[in-house]
Amino acid sequence: MPATLSSTKTRAALRASARISLELLLVLLMSAVALWMLGRMWSVTWPVIVALLLTTLTWPPTRFLRRRGWHPALAASVVTALFLIVAAGTIVLIAVPVASQSGELANGVVDGIEKMREWAAGPPLNIGDDQFAQALDAAVVRIKESVGSIVNATVTGVGTVVSGIVTTVLALFLMFFFLKDGPRFLPWLTRQLPGRLAVDLPAIAARSWDTLGAFVRSQAFVGLLDAVFIGLGLWIIGVPLVLPLAVLTFVSAFVPIVGALFAGFVAVLIALVSNGLTDALIVLALIVVVQQLEGNVFQPMLQSRGLGLHAAVVLLAVTLGGSLAGIVGSLLAVPAAALVAVLWNYLREQLGEPSREPATGEPDGGSTPA
């Protein structure tokens, strides 16, 4: 005989479901408001985020100098100056060799285009010079029709570059102050907050800082693996500019998607104009294999181990961040997920009930009961 539903239990279940749904809606609403406010303040928030990421890289040497008795301002100044020297040296290491061979590179590009034209003119394509001319004329007409769009894109690009320069300068200044005054932040925060918040927020901030450092270190290690494997492959194949390309690969690892595409495009282009189509295809295959291993094996394993996140969570976070906010979303998705996990674990610790010893029976291992 089928059981009869209890009207009292049904109403209680519906009331509980309605209450939980309302609470979830309120949480989602407050999250949406917080994200909206973050977007409105993005011009200030983004330099702070960049400065924090840079500070996680430069804090270990700063801490070393401070422990040796250096004044905080002097230690921060020296480390900031060394960071700028290393960054400038990296740019020079990439730019100077490429610039010294720019003429050879340009001639190689022209020769490569001519070889492609000759190849296309033969079987099976049999594309004649008149068809190339028609295609070129059509491209010119299309460009003329799109002059307005090109101008707008150029202005937008210039604005983006200027904004990037301003963000970089502001982030460097913030990094210096974080290195100089960072250890005073948590005691200051403790004094500003009342009651329980004076304990909870500094504890969460300390754990978040450790997690952010783990993220940056793992990302740097992944970039180093990419640079070593791709650099060795380029050296074995015989592609020139191996060291600049390896450095470019390491630096681009901190910029998801676009960084890998740009570094790979440069490597394949140099291989094409210097070694020919066959070696360029080999380099392309090498880069695809290494980047697939990095994205699907190395990065999830290292970040999941360093951040306390499962590899599947890392992959899903990057996918979601990229779909919501593009490149910036992909860059910040993993540390954001890790910070959410830090907050969740802390809440579980504070809200969880302490384990209780069994009331009867001998203590495990013969220990003395309290």
**pLDDT digits 0-9 by tens, 26-82:** 988 988 888 788 778 877 888 888 888 888 888 889 999 999 989 988 999 999 999
Residue boundaries of the structural domains of the chain? 41-146+158-181, 193-351
Cα separations in angstroms, 63 against 17, 55, 56, 67, 368:
51, 11, 11, 6, 44
256 pLDDT above the threshold of 60: no
What gap in Å lies between CA 130 and CA 123, rounded to an integer? Answer: 16
The rounded Cα 340 to chain-centroid distance in angstroms is 16
Burial class (CB in 10 A: 0-12, 13-18, 19+), 261: middle
Q: What is the per-residue pLDDT for 81?
A: 93
Q: What is the per-residue pLDDT for 369?
A: 41
Q: Could you count the other beta carbons within 10 Å of the beta carbon of residue 311?
A: 16
Q: What is the per-residue pLDDT for 25?
A: 92
Q: What is the per-residue pLDDT for 318?
A: 74
Q: Which residue has the higher pLDDT, 288 or 127?
A: 288
Residues 251/252/256/259 CA torsion (nearest 10 deg)? 160
Give the CA angle between residues 328, 332, 336 to the nearest 5°.
150
Residues 250/206/61/229 CA torsion (nearest 10 deg)? -20
User: What percentage of the chain carries pLDDT values higher than 70?
Assistant: 68
Cα separations in angstroms, 24 against 18, 28, 88, 218:
10, 6, 49, 34
Q: Are 323 and 316 in contact (CB under 8 A)?
A: no
Query: Smallest Cα–Cα separation from 111: which of 244, 276, 241?
Result: 276
Mean pLDDT, range 116-129, rounded to an integer: 61
Poorest-pLDDT segment among 48-52, 120-124, 224-228, 320-324: 120-124
Mean pLDDT, range 351-363, rounded to an integer: 55
Most confident residue range from 44-53, 132-141, 271-280: 44-53
What gap in Å lies between CA 341 and CA 333, rounded to an integer? Answer: 12
